Structure 1
């Protein structure tokens, strides 16, 4: 498996992101979905990563650089690749990039129903934290951070 920078507009990446967005829309109310648009994932302050096996995309994730920290966005693994270490590999790559950018911390917002994601982030040293950035408290979000 290779984890590298990718193009969110590529056909396979777009398919993964579309599947992720559709899943979030089925699980959470519209006002509690904070995923980035495809255009936002292409902005200069965002690093988008893909995990692939040969030419097949297995998953994706992004690092959004903000003042004082980096935010993890768009983490998603294809259904066929779940449980195979894809998300961990992407998360490691994002953390490596954040350290290279000398960011002091990583933060994220995830859905309260996404228990596999909670376990993944906890395994990687993330702990629950209070709301941050432009987010507002709601009943469906869980916020986490990791000092680097």
Structure 2
């Protein structure tokens, strides 16, 4: 469903956060499904909180450690435990690098959101300009307990809206073979497979079981 607040609000909030003050919280009212075929749908606001690298440091690091643990567990299932030797840094080091790289990008070049339901952190997502009119989605992650509720669709629409407001014409992302729900979501929203984009984190040894995707905005 459309998110009503514009990227201008995101940029203003991001600049406010970088200046040490808490910016406005962006909200999208989502129709969330709980359960399976007999799910009852309720309306609940998903808050997109502009991540502050100091104020939200512990939450950012915790979510990134969860995300990276999940990714590495998936890699072990796909390739075996020996595949972890392709990583030259620990999960904690990677999580800290994410904070430095994504949360300190100056608006309007990027934004990092913490996702909250009723003030509870349920995930994260980020957008950054790669070059020219090309943007990249990063760290799109919903915690396990909150999957299957339609949050991914709301997040995707928020990031696409932000990319348009940045003047980008193309967005790209990558997703592992084991991330079945994410790939279905991206395909349903017009993403197609493409060659790996410039600054990919994924070791080359894994590329044959990774999906690199893009779409126009």
| Normalised TM-score (structure 2) | 0.61
Runs of 4+ off more than 4 Å: 32-36
Q: How many correspondences in the alignment?
A: 148
The farther-off stretch of 4-13 and 74-83 is 4-13
Structure 2 segments unaligned to the other structure (5+ residues): 1-45, 76-82
The 8 Å contact of residues 112 and 125 in structure 2, kept in 1 or not, is answered as: yes
8 Å CA contact 1:59, 1:87 repeated in 2: no
The aligned residue for residue 115 of structure 1 is 180
Q: Is the contact between residue 63 and residue 72 of structure 1 (CA under 8 Å) also seen in structure 2?
A: yes
CA deviation map 1:117-144 (0-9, x unaligned): 1011112211111122134572232100
Moved more, 66-75 or 11-20: 11-20
Partner residue, 2:25: none
1:65 to 122, 125, 129: 129
Q: 5 Å matches for 1:48-59? A: 48-59=112-123
RMSD: 2.4
Q: What are the ranges of 5 or more consecutive residues in structure 1 without an aligned counterpart?
A: none
Bigger Rg, which one? 2
1:8 Cα deviation after fit = 5.9
1:75 aligns with 2:120: no
| More deviation, 108-117/127-136 | 127-136
1:6 matched to 2:6? The reply is: no
Structure-1-length-normalised TM-score? 0.86
Contact 1:4/1:50, CA 8 A, preserved across alignment: yes
